[in-house]
Amino acid sequence: MPKASEVKKGAAIEHNGRVLVVKDIQRSVPQGRAGGSLYRMRLYDVVTGGKVDETFKDSDMLKFADLIRREAMFSYIDGEEYVFMDNEDYTPYNLNKEAISEEILFVNEETQGLHVIVIDGSPVGLDLPSSVELVVEETDPSIKGASASARSKPARLTTGLTIQVPEHISTGDRIRINTVEHKFMGRAEK
């Protein structure tokens, strides 16, 4: 059983009889308290889809839920559901748009290394690869002679995600993005 301080974003834990996926973690060190940090976690109930906020001490013991990660590809959108196809046995996994609203900004039909998180036979979330390649849909014109380390500008990608890119990047460029930090990593290989 892990301590709260060892739990990472995307992990599934069992808490108060529910299975919860960790969406976000904020660590704080209260003033005047001897000892540990507090971990405020935004959790997502895999059954009801509801958001839950909990705060744990760093020494609190949590229980990981039994989950399976299945490699999958994004297939199509069906109303409020995004449908992913298992790469091995072609099982379709339907995920509600609300449940994966942050992750879907990094996903298109070409995304490799994507995993659907399955708990008790039900798909509950997405596990993104550490980086993805996406195309710049709209950004200010590139500036000739701008160095790679110069100022940055916002760029909207084909999935709707907006990130900061160097000035030499232009509309139509294929770029790599770090999915954890939401940062530009460089132009994609041709």
- Beta strands 68-78; 81-86: pairing state: antiparallel
Write out pLDDT tens, residues 129-188. Answer: 989 999 999 998 876 665 555 688 999 999 999 999 998 899 999 999 999 888 999 998
Q: Any idea what DSSP says for residue 30?
A: -
- Alpha-carbon distance 10 to 42, whole Å? 11
The rounded mean pLDDT for the chain is 87
- The lowest-confidence range among 19-23, 32-36, 61-65, 161-165 is 32-36
- Alpha-carbon distance 24 to 39, whole Å? 10
Contacts of 111 (CB under 8 A, 6+ apart): 73, 74, 129, 132
User: What pLDDT score does 125 carry?
Assistant: 83
